[in-house]
Amino acid sequence: MHDLPPLARFGTRVATGLRDVTADPAALDSTGFWAVVADFEGRLTCARFDDVREEPVPAPVPGRWQGPAVGDWSSSLDRAAYTAGVRRIREHIAAGEVYQANLCRVLAAPVAPGADVDDLTALLARGNPAPYAGTIRLPEHGVETATASPELFLRRRGRVVESGPIKGTGRTEADLLEKDYAENVMIVDLVRNDIGRVCATGSVTVPDLCAVEKHPGLVHLVSTVRGELRDGAGWPELLDAAFPPGSVTGAPKSSALRILDALEPVPRGPYCGGIGWVDADRGTGELAVGIRTFWIDRTAGDQPLLRFGTGAGITWGSDPEAEWRETELKASRLLAVASGTYEVSGEGITT
């Protein structure tokens, strides 16, 4: 639906009145308010808006969002292929090539040509509220993305930068395993190294390690890594050092990326990339890791596809079937919201 006007929505902050679009990260250190989408594969879209205001996320309008039927979703990796991929990563770990790798699959289902990602945003706000919820609608630039991300990729306040990697997921805290804590610490080390490349020597700290956060339907282990940018470093240097996010790649990052490229049959797109905003006038910004993220793909023909990614971190201690179940757990609630099989009651969300 290309007659929909460009829009960005982050929590209660709404931006309209598109001024310009660029792929140059240096623009984020210029002026104005920018919406940012960085695909996992590296495509960067920065959109500057003139009108930024506060308003509540609209309530869902019954029947406005026509989501896919539950049975219409297909996966880039089926159960057999995914579990085989887990076993292959364990072989790479045994060979000393990698310590951890995040194996992902992309789900897809057809939606109506008139589907508006902002209508899905309203449903997600009720059905799966998230601290880094965001929507960017730039139909003429191939960006129609809605995220219910719980994970901070990069926050910037002046020269201070933070990242909040998530590793470890369960239905309850009791489900978290020793493997989850070990994996979180491993990724914290990677993020410390990434951020340390552009921060002043000695300024990188870990204020929180393996804190348990509760989210709708599951819990996560979350850590915080903080540093102070060195003189001369801005958004281009920060993104170059930290992208793609360590929590959704693996360690060492370069080895994990090579292994995942051979195992994952389709691009991740905005899934596992970065989605958020930058206020260049104030020197602030907040990019989420693009997990729990939907996007509309209109490149496949007359019938657009709604896409959604899910994945799990694989270590030597991984059980292939348990990792498949983790990808199902992460996807189940959000697919139900998008397909209209969750109902909002006075007590919250019920099936």
Enzyme catalytic residues: 151, 167
Whether the CA torsion 176, 180, 181, 182 is positive or negative: it is: positive
Please list the alpha-helical segments (H only) found in 51-209: 79-94, 117-127, 178-196
Whether the CA torsion 49, 52, 57, 60 is positive or negative: it is: negative
Radius of gyration for the chain, computed over Cα atoms and rounded to the nearest angstrom:
19
Residue that the structure tokens 């023909």 belong to: 301
Query: Residue 56: is it exposed, middle or buried by C-beta count within 10 angstroms (0-12/13-18/19+)?
Result: exposed
Which secondary structure element, helix H or strand E, spans residue 324, and what is its range?
Answer: helix 320-339
Quote the CA–CA distance of 91 and 260 in Å, as a whole number: 13
- Six-digit token string for 117: 């990602």
Contact at 8 Å (CB) between 277 and 314?
A: no
What is the DSSP secondary structure assignment for residue 229, as one 8-state letter?
B
248: helix, coil or strand?
helix
- Six-digit token string for 88: 């292959």
